[in-house]
Structure 1
Amino acid sequence: MLCVNGKVLKRVRSSALALLVGLGAGCIALPAQTTTPHATFDGAKALAYTHSFVTETGPRFNGSPGLAKAQSFLKSYFAKDQLQDDTFTSTTPAGPQLMHNFIVRFPGKRDGVIVLATHYETNYWLRDIPFVGANDGGATTGLLMQIASDLRAHPPQGMSVWLVFFDGEESVGSQWTDADSLYGSRHLAAKWQADGTLSKVKAFLLTDMIGDKSLDIQRDTNSTPWLVDTVQKAAGQTGNGAYFFKETNTVSDDHMPFVKRGVPCVDIIDIDYGPNDSYHHTAQDTLDKLSAHSLTISGTVIEQTIRLLDNGASSGSPAGTR
C-alpha cells in the first residue's frame, strides 16, 4: 500500500519534529477543542461491511479469484446506485493486466463534486502468503460502504459526492516505483482530465489504513494545505482532534495523480500499523487488528468535512471554480 523513501513498506517520510518540539518545551497547554453538533458515524456497521468484504474475498491480487469476488461484491452492493465500472488494461512488470475502478455517484443540488476514495485490491507480489489486507484496502472499503448507506438515507444537499474504489494502487513488483504503482488513479485522473470531469472536482479525500485500533492519522505534506486544515477543523469540531495530524509525513498514494493536475487533495492515512509498523504488508494484517471505534472517528470526521466543504469553510472556496 505504501512507498516511503523508495521502500514499498511505506510511502512516507516521517518527521519527529512535533515530538522533539514538545520534549524541548516541556508541558504545553493546548487549546480546548470546540465541538459543534454533528451526526456520529456508525463505525460498527462499517466494520461489519469490512468483515464481509474481507472474509468473502480473501487475497485480492490481480488475476486472482479473490479480486474477481471483490469486484462482484462491490457491483452487488452498489447495484441500485449510479455505479460505473471503469475498465482498463495496464502494462505491468507481470504483463498486461485488466483492472477495474468503480465510481459511485450520489448527485447533489449544487455544482461541484467531492470525491471520497480508497483502493480495494491487495499486492500481487504478496500472492504467496495469506495477505488479506484487512486494514490495507479492506477497512476503507467498508468505511465507504457505510458512507454510501448514509448518503442513500440523506442524499447530498450541496455538492455531489462520488465514491471511488481504485484497482491497481499497489505495485505489482516488490519495489514501488512511479511506473509500477497507482495504476487505477493514474488512469482515472488522466481520463477525467481529458473529458473535462476533473474541473468539477472541488475536493478529493483519499482514505487509507484508518481502521487500526491504535489510530494516529498523520499530516501529509503532499496534500493541499487548506484541505488538510479543513479536515483538522472537522476533527476538532467533532471532538476527535487528538487522532489527527500530530506527526507529519510525505506520502505517495492514490491522491498524487490528482494533486499533479491541480485538484485539492488530502490523504487521510495512518501509516504506522502495528508495533514498528510490523503488520503492514504481512499476513498479520487481519480483521482482529481493526476497531469500530477507529472507523467511527474516521467516518465522523470525513462526513463533517463534507459539511464544511458544502458551507465553503476553506480558503480554497471549493464551491467555486479553481
Structure 2
Amino acid sequence: MIRTLIWLLIWALATQGLIDYRDYHDEFLPRFLSLENASDDNLLLPFNTTRTPGSKESLEIQKLIKNFYDGLESPWELEEDSFENKGLNFNNLVYTLGANSSSYVVLSAHYDSKVEPEGFIGATDSAASCAILLYVSRFLDAFYQNGNSSLSDEKNGDVGFKIVFFDGEESLKQWTAEDSLYGSRHLASKWIEQGLIDKIHLFVLLDLLGSNPAPIRSYFRETHEAYERLASLESTLFKSPPQLDPMDHSILQLNGPSIDDDHIPFYRAGVPVLHLIPWPFPSFWHTLQDDFNHLQQNEIDKWAVLLSEFLVEESSGFADRL
C-alpha cells in the first residue's frame, strides 16, 4: 500500500512536469524534426542520404552529429569508438551527460545504412531514430540548463545519460553473427573491459520507427516494468491508438532475444534492454522503398516527445523507488 502511494505521488509530480514541458515540444518540433522545413536547424533531413560505413556520406553525418553536440550548452562528453574490420573504418559516437554518474540510461540507434541495394536510404532503418536521438539530447540539454535537476559533473549518485550512434549494424553482404552488429559488438566488448557495462541502468534501442504506427511489443521480462512506464506515458500524452500494450505478453513468453539488433551484445552481458522496434517489420524493410516518402510526421513527433519525457522520468530513479 505504501509502495503504491509513493508511486502515485511520484507520478503526480512527474505528470505536472510533463504538462509544463509540452510548450517546448510545441515550439521546437516543427523546427528541428520537420519533413518539410529545410532550415539549417533541421535535424532530420540531413539523414536523407546513404550512410554506408567509411563512405563520404557517413563522414558527413558524423560531422553533423559532432557539430550538433558542440552547439549544446551542457557538458556532453564525446567518446569515439573507432576501429577497422574487413577493410572498412567504423566509428561509434557516444555522448555522455553526467560523466560521474553512478548509473546510466543509454539511448541508442544505428546511423549506418545498408550497402545493398545500392542507394538504400533506410529512413526508418534508422535515419529517423538518429534524428530523434538528437532532438532528445537537445531536450535534455534544455531541461538541465533550466535547473530542473541536480545532474552535474560534480555530483555522483545521479542517473546520467549516454546517447549512442552505432556504426555497422547492417551486414556488408549477408547477415551472420560475424557480418552484422560491428559497432555494438565492439563497443560492448570495450565497456565490459572498462567495467562500464555494470553501470547501465537501462539500455534503450530505437529501430524502424517513424512510419505507419505498428505494435511495439515488450520483448524482455527484465524490462517489462520500464515498458509499462513508457506505455503509461504514451496513453497520458497521446489520444491516438497506442502502439505499446503492456498486456501483450506474446513475445515475453519466449524469454530471450527474438530479433537480432544492436542490443544483443549488451543483453548477453546482462544489461537490461528495452527494444523499441515494431513487430512485424514494415513491409518495405530493407528495400529501396524505405525512404523519406514513407515517414510520417506525427510518428516522428510522437517518439521525440515520448522518449524525451521518458528519459527525464527515468533519471528520477523510478525503478529504484518502486
Compute the TM-score of the two structures, normalised by the length of structure 2. 0.75
Q: CA RMSD in A?
A: 2.8
5 Å-filtered alignment, 1:221-300, equals 221=220, 224-239=223-238, 242-245=242-245, 248-249=250-251, 250-272=258-280, 277-300=282-305
Q: Corresponding residue for 1:148?
A: 137
CA distance in 2, matches of 1:74, 1:171: 23
CA distance in 1, matches of 2:78, 2:33: 20
Q: Corresponding residue for 2:92?
A: 101
Q: What's the secondary structure of 2:116's corresponding residue? A: helix
Shift of 1:59: 1.1
- Structure 2, unmatched stretches of 5+, are 1-11, 36-41, 152-157, 252-257
CA distance in 1, matches of 2:200, 2:272: 8
Q: Corresponding residue for 1:11?
A: none
Any conservation in 2 of the 1:85–1:101 contact (CA below 8 Å)? yes
Q: Which string of whole-angstrom CA distances, capped at 9 and with x for unpartnered residues, describes residues 5-54 of structure 1? A: xxxxxxxxxxxxxxxxxxxxxxxxxxxxx993413445442345454322
Q: Corresponding residue for 1:189?
A: 188
Q: Corresponding residue for 2:3?
A: none
Q: Which string of whole-angstrom CA distances, capped at 9 and with x for unpartnered residues, describes residues 190-238 of structure 1? A: 1011011112211111111211133432332487333333322332343
Residue range with higher mean Cα deviation, 106-115 or 159-168: 106-115
- Which one-letter code corresponds to 1:135 in the other structure? T
CA distance in 2, matches of 1:43, 1:117: 20
Which structure has more strand as a fraction of its residues?
Answer: 1
- Which one-letter code corresponds to 1:46 in the other structure? L
Describe the shift of the 1:256–1:227 C-alpha distance in structure 2 as closer, same or farther (beyond 3 A). Answer: farther
Any conservation in 2 of the 1:60–1:66 contact (CA below 8 Å)? yes
- What count of residue pairs does the alignment treat as equivalent? 272
Q: Corresponding residue for 1:78?
A: 69
Alignment pair present for 1:135 and 2:124 = yes
Any conservation in 2 of the 1:61–1:121 contact (CA below 8 Å)? yes
Compute the TM-score of the two structures, normalised by the length of structure 1. 0.75
Any conservation in 2 of the 1:211–1:295 contact (CA below 8 Å)? yes
Q: Could you tell me the percent identity over the aligned residues?
A: 25
CA distance in 2, matches of 1:109, 1:300: 27
- Which one-letter code corresponds to 1:67 in the other structure? S
Q: What's the secondary structure of 2:242's corresponding residue? A: helix
Which structure has more helix as a fraction of its residues?
Answer: 2
- Which one-letter code corresponds to 1:99 in the other structure? F
- Structure 1, unmatched stretches of 5+, are 1-33
Q: Answer 1 or 2: higher relative contact order, Cα 8 Å, separation at least 6.
A: 1
Shift of 1:271: 4.4
CA distance in 2, matches of 1:52, 1:303: 20
Describe the shift of the 1:142–1:131 C-alpha distance in structure 2 as closer, same or farther (beyond 3 A). Answer: same
